[in-house]
Structure 1
């Protein structure tokens, strides 16, 4: 098989959603933004590109002082150095953002004024800073409008004019969508148990010789992926946490 026999690209977003490995192809499609969070599709020729390869593919000159970050599934930013390989097949990051700046960004969180060294902040970082309670949430105050509920996997652009103001308040009732054995299911809680997911995957009663096993990915809690055993639980994202449940009958 020659390179001409390969498809034009494989989309990392599709691979993550379908829970599969990247396919051999001519290019690998990621999402890239520059100096903001307006992501566009970008093809890179290597599944383990260097930071400078990503910048070059985006039309940015690596010599112009760009800082490049990979946005992990948790919403955390990870520095990608110019000559550091980044394995698209293993890291689960589909979004990359480059900034040409060295300034700090100010925001308020409840009654405290804080500074952040990156032009965007993830909800996960805000929740850690605020140390919110189990039934609390963080909101971005919208002057003259409705405050925006933030989840751990959300991102907020700090480059907009003015200082962003975040507050903690009681969490409203919300409906989340999880994927159970490739089917979307609605749940009314951000915290789901092994037993909750089993009921969604295999409704009804079961004989005592039936054993269930379960894996999950894209969870809000850490670890973000793994195996879940009976009696266990995870915090899910508002949309996109995936569960695979298998049923085995023991003889």
Structure 2
């Protein structure tokens, strides 16, 4: 994003983006091209500054802490995104062999993926357990970074084998919707074609949905070895 876009902002105004304890950014403007951390927090409506941490989101995905009296030059492209926390300490961890900092004791699987800059839908994130089984952390699950030592995480592309009408398919999602399953069996299936109707049943699913029917508009969580049965009915 270009921060000094004079066609969109008044002269001598600089566009910045703020997110609080996550990555849902909201656009703001500031007049000072070299504001302090305290000024930036004030623009975001976060006072007093001493009760908050402010990080600059770098292009690499790293969060670099900005002290209240430290300045940031907004005239340099790529320096306009900031993440804040109501906190008094940072927590360090490693993900994909890169050191990262976070402003809360707990972090979600989704935030770990966002920091690693991978597609959350097509990737998993694991806590690395030396000498044991690595721990899968789902998007909405949180992990406590407050234990002794520096935690290590790794992301990996999702590859799950499922069966559709007994034929194996490798999918890159943990959740499949109705039409994705249909097109595994019928690649040219068209939702707009009212003359064709599809019925899906499934078996050997995960604990939360071991078997059942999948209807148009629904999605289902999957696991390796899950079986789908797609039935086509031609109404023409």
TM-score range normalised by the length of the shorter chain: 0.3 to 0.5
What TM-score do you get using the length of structure 1 for normalisation? 0.39
Larger of the two Rg values belongs to structure:
2
What TM-score do you get using the length of structure 2 for normalisation? 0.41
The answer to which structure has the higher helix fraction is 1
